[in-house]
Structure formats: C-alpha cells, structure tokens
C-alpha cells in the first residue's frame, strides 16, 4: 500500500509566544501572526526536503540490492535512473529554495533591519515601524505577501509534489535481498505516479518562468532573485524555450 501524504498533518504546528509589556509595543499580535505564517511555511519546505532525502536513501539501497541480487538488467537500471532523475529535479528546486530563504532572510533582510535600527530609530514607535518592515520583507521573501500570491500557489503545488513523490514507494523501511528477488520493480515503485509528478513539476517550472518574465528584473528580493538562483546556468530557461519555442510577452 502506497503512503498518501499531505501538509494537513502540520496543521497542529503553531508558533506561539507570550509577549509582555513593553515588548508587545514592538512585537504586536499582527507581527506574531506573520511570524507564525512564515514559520509554518518554512517547516513545510523543510518537511518536503526531508521526504526527498528519505527517498534518496531508499533508491540508493534498492540500487545496491538489485546489483547484488543479479537483477541489474539495463531495462531495470534505466527505469531506476528515470526515477532518480525526477527526484533530483525536485530536490534541486527545494534545496535552491532553501538556500534562497536562508541567504535572504538571515543576510539581506536582517542586515537591512539592523541598519534601520541604527540609523532610523528615535523612539519606540520607530522601532515598531522598522520591525514591521522587517517582518513584511520576510513575508515577501517567503512569497507570502499579497503581491507574491501567484508564486506561492505554484510553490505550494511543488512542495506537495515532493510529498507525493515519497508516496510513490511502497515501503522505505522494509528492503532486503529476498524482497527484491520476490517482487518486481513495479510492485515497489509507482512509475505512473512518478511520471505524473514529473509532468506537473515541469509545468510548474514553466509557470514560474512566465511569472518571472513578467516581473521586475530589478527587485532586490522576490521571484527575480530566486529565479536567478534556480536558473544560474540558464538550464530551465533554455529548456523551456527549446520545448515550446519562443515566449512573447
């Protein structure tokens, strides 16, 4: 039986913090709500990455067992390689997303906040304002602002695909040589589901490319910067252009 995942299992996770006076003048209920939203999103990204890491361990062990069992026929290895390629594509996207968040949340946005505290603050109201700007920046970096909702929708879909990719495997904990000998590869891996995830993932990449093409190329934070991380060697843009011809905007 294949495991069916979903982010609903994280619904009970909530960042909470009791703020006493006078700190609550700065860290308001609205700020805490935004922190909770960011926290929940980053947990989802991390959970998706861990799911794909678990899959990598399974595929590595399965490949070793198949090799030792003498079933390493070219057709079997070709099927396994196709699954590994999809896993690598999705993992590359998620690891790049994590890197983007880490660099921009802990570096650019944080340094901007520190600079504002040093040069713009004269009283508590100023502290409240620059802190709210910092949290607003963080929401934008995580694609949780009103302006980035179309990006968030696509990313949420891709995070879900990472969890669903984990469900393409009957078991990640019960592998042995006898298991590999008794069962064929299709009883361990749902290849049709892998193909469906690959199709949806590549469609989402194209959707991101379209949004990027229509967005400002000069914004310091946001989709343009993330796409630069993701497409650093022009792989995605060249592949999309090759697949569908030219985009005209």
pLDDT in tens, 87-123: 999 999 999 999 999 888 888 888 888 888 888 888 8
The span from the CA of 52 to the CA of 94, in Å, is 9
Three-state SS for 123?
coil
Three-state SS for 142?
coil
Phi and psi based region of residue 55 (left: phi greater than 0; alpha: psi -120 to 50; beta: remaining) = alpha
Tokens linked to 210: 């379209």
How does residue 9 score in pLDDT terms, banded at 50, 70 and 90? low
pLDDT at 79: 83
Secondary structure (DSSP) of 80-95: HHHHHHHHHHHHHHHH
Claim: this prediction has a pTM higher than 0.75: yes
Is pLDDT of 20 > 80? no
pLDDT in tens, 170-224: 765 555 555 555 556 777 888 999 999 999 999 999 999 999 888 776 566 678 8
User: Which residue has better confidence, 247 or 123?
Assistant: 123
The span from the CA of 244 to the CA of 240, in Å, is 6
How does residue 57 score in pLDDT terms, banded at 50, 70 and 90? confident
- Indicate the class that CATH gives domain 7-244: mainly alpha
Give the CA dihedral 204, 208, 213, 214, nearest 10 degrees.
Answer: 110
Is pLDDT of 36 > 90? no
**Residue ranges covered by each domain of the chain:** 7-244
pLDDT at 14: 64
């Amino acid at each position: 039986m294949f495991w069916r995942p979903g982010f609903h299992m994280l619904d009970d996770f909530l960042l909470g913090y009791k703020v006493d006076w006078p700190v609550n003048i700065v860290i308001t209920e609205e700020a805490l709500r935004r922190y909770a939203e960011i926290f929940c999103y980053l947990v989802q990204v991390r959970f998706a990455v861990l799911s794909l890491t678990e899959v990598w361990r399974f595929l590595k062990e399965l490949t070793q067992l198949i090799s030792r069992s003498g079933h390493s026929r070219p057709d079997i290895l070709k099927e396994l390689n196709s699954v590994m390629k999809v896993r690598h594509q999705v993992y590359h996207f998620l690891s790049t997303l994590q890197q983007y968040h880490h660099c921009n949340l802990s570096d650019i946005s944080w340094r901007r906040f520190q600079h504002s505290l040093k040069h713009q603050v004269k009283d508590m109201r100023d502290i409240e304002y620059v802190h709210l700007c910092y949290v607003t920046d963080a929401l934008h970096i995580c694609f949780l602002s009103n302006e980035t909702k179309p990006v968030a929708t696509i990313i949420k879909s891709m995070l879900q695909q990472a969890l669903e990719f984990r469900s393409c495997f009957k078991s990640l904990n019960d592998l042995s040589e006898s298991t590999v000998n008794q069962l064929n590869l299709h009883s361990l891996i749902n290849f049709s589901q892998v193909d469906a995830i690959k199709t949806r993932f590549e469609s989402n990449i194209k959707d991101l490319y379209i949004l990027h093409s229509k967005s400002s190329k000069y914004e310091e934070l946001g989709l343009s910067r993330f796409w630069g991380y993701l497409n650093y060697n022009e792989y995605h843009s060249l592949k999309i252009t090759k697949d569908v011809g030219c985009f005209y905007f």
